[in-house]
Amino acid sequence: MAVRIGFFGPWRNRLGESPLWDGESGVLYWVDSIAARICRAAPTGERFDAWTMPQTVGSIALGETGLVVALRDGFYALDIENHGAPSPIALPERDNPAVRFNDGKADRQGRFLAGTMRVGDANTAPGILYRLDRNGSCSVLERDLAISNALCFSPSGDQLYLADTLQGLIWRYSYDVLTGDVADRRLFADTRTLGSLPDGATVDAEGHIWVALVQAQRLARFAPDGRLVQTIDLPIPFPSCPAFGGEDLRTLFVTTIADSGHRLRSDHPDAGRLLAIDGLGVRGLPEARCGTENHMRD
């Protein structure tokens, strides 16, 4: 089957990120980080909703009744259906304006991992990878990250992938599915050889890793042993994050960037739109739901 690449809806984002398929509702969520918006659309495009947040949005995960959101300073619960304001769960960066939350993903057990990135002066404090447990507690898993990115998990959940974008490296960790602890960091892939730093990533049902090559206008697919097995050229610049969704999880949705507010800007007329890729011959995995809405704390 030939690979088919098209646009998903007419919507444009300044900094599209964190696509997330909700299989129960049959909708795609994503964020426009700089515009501080969370968006939702049906796969046919006839339904579109958006919620404006009080801070920049890093990433989102499915909750038991809504979404769990990583805003600039920490983790929040968002009641989507009642259009409520985000309620704080844990705010580890409340008093640190030098960083903001960025990429995040739920593990297979429903814990939410999200990392921070430096903003402004390059000499500011480095980013941290946090784990939000289902009881609302928050733990540090990794430190000294410039831009935390490409978070995703192997199908069994016992391997964690994480990139520090400015290094151009994707790391693999052993991940304890019972405790959520990480160990044994080793190099998985160096995307600089492909002409780009790594951005967001996802895992397919075969355990291959799909990574957005944001500077090269391509996606790369890596085997579980780190071998590059496929690249796909894209019709618009600055792909930021892929996620599988749609019927049978066989469509790969990709967010893109029009203006990151820093280095990445494009005057392409379709910059910032979402892409939908079909005919890949693989499917994705359903995302776990986080249960932290029941443990909100100030």
**For 170-187, what is each residue's pLDDT tens digit?**
999 999 999 999 999 999
Residue pLDDT, tens place only, 131-174: 999 999 999 999 988 889 999 999 999 999 999 998 999 999 99
- Pairing status of strand 228-233 against strand 169-175: unpaired
SS3 237: coil
CB 67 within 8 A of CB 60: yes
SS3 248: helix
Residue 297 has pLDDT above 60, yes or no: no
Residue pLDDT, tens place only, 85-134: 899 999 999 988 888 999 999 999 999 999 998 886 656 668 899 999 99
pLDDT above 90 covers a percentage of the chain that reads 82
Angle at 135 between CA 92 and CA 158, to 5 degrees: 90
Write out the two tokens for 224: 């579980």
- What would the CATH number be for the domain defined by 4-295? 2.120.10.30
How far is Cα 147 from Cα 157, in angstroms, rounded to an integer?
A: 23
Question: What mean pLDDT is predicted for residues 227-235?
Answer: 98
| Annotation marks residue 199 as catalytic | yes
The values of phi and psi at residue 192, to 5°, are: -60, -30
Residue 298 has pLDDT above 90, yes or no: no
The values of phi and psi at residue 95, to 5°, are: -105, 25
Stated pTM of the model: 0.95
Listed range (44-48, 60-64, 72-76, 189-193) with the worst mean pLDDT: 44-48
How far is Cα 77 from Cα 84, in angstroms, rounded to an integer?
A: 10
How far is Cα 247 from Cα 23, in angstroms, rounded to an integer?
A: 9
Write out the two tokens for 213: 């090559």
Question: What mean pLDDT is predicted for residues 189-217?
Answer: 97
Predicted pLDDT at 264: 81
How far is Cα 248 from Cα 276, in angstroms, rounded to an integer?
A: 14
Task: Determine which one of 199, 233, 267, 278 is catalytic.
Answer: 199
